[in-house]
């Protein structure tokens, strides 16, 4: 009875969110900001096309779907680095513990670039240089309800800096997972609800997005799919595939649709005892350069 009640609530939230996003996407005229919340975390996720809403077992669930933290078995610590065009860098670190009943996670992310040219008007000579960076620190908690359902939430403190200007803010995520069978997990997450303080008299809108996804596990294969409905921007789908070899080597690939600069992604992971090293290569179009991600995880 409890699970039936929870399922009805989840379905109602799904319908209401879809209606809300459809209305807002058609009327919004500005682009969501705070890049750190739009860029995914983890090399494994990047290699699998960022289709992670229903994937469990890692600390990065605190970013993709906080309900997944409760579905973990034991602890997981991760450090990740991402370098893209023109020296833009992203760093992420986190710790999580779950026991298939409840889970807790801590996260810290930073995204920035320096030496950017500043101009007040069209000119060949810049007026100077400036730096930008985004920072967030988060806390996640998740709980199992009944035998098949997990729910979770994350709260984050946000800081944005562009040259001499800076602003603080808060955001929250919520997610749910449903274990349909031993081999199939379904998930939904609503991310980046919140607001920023004004930055030079302008308030940066957060990149709110609703995602639903599924993950299918069979022997050494994992297939994942996500569908994303952002409040602002293109809707699209994400697909990922992972194949494990002898439990030590993992080969990955992914596809994204609806993205302006990227579609395909590739990567691999290598495990040794309680360590795992992941790498992802994400080619970009429009001359923006390719992206490389690496992550180290410890259990």
Q: How many Å apart are CA 194 and CA 33, to the nearest integer?
A: 12
Q: CA nearest 295: which of 280, 274, 273, 282?
A: 280
pLDDT at 280 over 50: yes
How far apart (Å, rounded) are the C-alpha atoms in residues 10 and 101? 19
What whole-number percentage of the chain has pLDDT above 90?
Answer: 63
Report the C-alpha gap between 35 and 160 in whole angstroms: 10
Whether the predicted pLDDT of 12 surpasses 70: no
Q: Each residue of 72-125: pLDDT tens digit?
A: 999 999 999 998 766 788 999 999 999 999 999 999 999 888 777 777 777 777
H or E element that contains 4: helix 2-27
- What's the pLDDT band for 163 if we cut at 50, 70, 90? confident
Contact yes or no for 135/36 (Cβ under 8 A)? yes
Q: Is residue 3 scored above 50 in pLDDT?
A: no
How does strand 291-298 pair with strand 221-230?
A: unpaired
- Tell me: the pLDDT tens digits for 120-146? 777 777 777 778 889 999 999 999 999
What is the predicted pLDDT for the residue at 127? 72
Whether pLDDT at 296 is above 80? yes
State residue 33's pLDDT score: 58
In this structure, is the dihedral angle defined by the CA atoms of residues 176, 67, 174 and 25, taken in order, positive or negative? negative
Q: 252: closest CA among 241, 239, 264?
A: 241
Looking at CATH, the fold of the domain delimited by 2-298 is given as Porin (2.40.160)
In degrees, rounded to 5, the angle at the alpha carbon of residue 211 between the alpha carbons of residues 50 and 54 is: 60
State the pLDDT at residue 233.
Answer: 83
Calculate the alpha carbon distances from 153 to 67, 70, 172, 259, 298 in Å. Answer: 7, 11, 7, 26, 23
pLDDT grade, residue 28 (50/70/90)?
very low
CA angle 27, 31, 34 (to 5 degrees): 135
pLDDT category of residue 32 using cuts at 50, 70 and 90: low
Q: What is the pTM of this model?
A: 0.84
Task: Spell out the domain ranges in the chain.
Answer: 2-298
Tokens of 134: 């985004």
Residue 30's pLDDT is 46
Percentage of the chain surpassing pLDDT 70? 85
Task: Output Rg (C-alpha) for the chain, integer angstroms.
Answer: 19
Whether 161 shows a pLDDT value over 70: the answer reads: yes
Mean pLDDT computed over every residue of the chain: 86
Residue found by looking up tokens 């920072």 in the block:
135
**Would you give the distance in Å from CA 181 to the centre of its chain?**
25
- Predicted confidence at residue 11, as pLDDT, reads 44
Length of the chain (residues): 299
Determine the Cα–Cα distance for residues 266 and 256; give it in Å rounded to an integer.
12
* Residue 234 near residue 259, CB atoms below 8 Å: yes
SS3 for 133-165, per residue? EEEEEEEEEEEEECCCEEEEEEEEEEEEEECCE
9 vs 212, higher pLDDT: 212
Q: With left for phi above 0 and alpha for psi between -120 and 50, is residue 21 left, alpha or beta?
A: alpha
211 CB-near residues (< 8 Å, 6+ apart): 53, 65, 187, 188, 189, 191, 226, 227, 228, 229
What confidence tens digit (pLDDT) does each residue in 234-270 have? 899 999 999 999 999 999 999 999 887 788 999 999 9
Query: How far is the C-alpha of 80 from the C-alpha of 241, rounded, in Å?
Result: 20
């Amino acid at each position: 009875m409890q699970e039936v009640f929870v399922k009805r609530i989840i379905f109602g939230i799904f319908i209401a969110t879809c209606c809300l996003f459809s209305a807002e996407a058609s009327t919004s005229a500005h682009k969501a900001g705070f890049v750190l919340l739009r860029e995914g975390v983890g090399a494994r996720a990047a290699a699998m096309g960022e289709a992670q809403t229903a994937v469990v077992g890692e600390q990065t669930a605190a970013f993709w779907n906080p309900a997944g933290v409760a579905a973990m078995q034991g602890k997981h610590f991760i450090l990740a680095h991402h370098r893209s065009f023109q020296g833009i860098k992203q760093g992420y670190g986190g710790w999580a513990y779950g026991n298939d009943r409840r889970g807790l996670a801590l996260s810290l992310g930073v995204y920035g670039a320096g030496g950017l040219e500043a101009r007040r008007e069209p000119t060949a000579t810049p007026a100077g240089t400036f730096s930008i960076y985004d920072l967030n620190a988060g806390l996640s908690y998740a709980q199992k309800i009944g035998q098949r359902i997990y729910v979770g939430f994350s709260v984050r403190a946000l800081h944005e800096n562009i040259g001499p200007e800076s602003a603080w803010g808060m955001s929250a995520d919520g997610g749910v997972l449903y274990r349909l069978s031993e081999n199939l997990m379904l998930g939904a997450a609503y991310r980046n609800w919140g607001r920023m303080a004004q930055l030079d008299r302008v308030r940066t809108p957060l990149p709110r997005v609703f995602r639903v996804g599924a993950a299918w596990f069979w022997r050494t294969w994992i297939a994942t799919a996500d569908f994303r409905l952002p409040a602002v921007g293109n809707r699209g789908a994400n697909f990922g595939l992972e194949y494990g070899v002898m439990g030590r080597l993992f080969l990955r690939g992914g596809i994204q649709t609806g993205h302006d600069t990227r579609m395909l992604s590739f990567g691999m992971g290598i495990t040794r005892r309680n360590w795992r090293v992941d790498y992802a290569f994400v080619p970009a179009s429009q001359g923006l350069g390719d992206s490389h991600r690496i992550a180290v995880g410890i259990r």
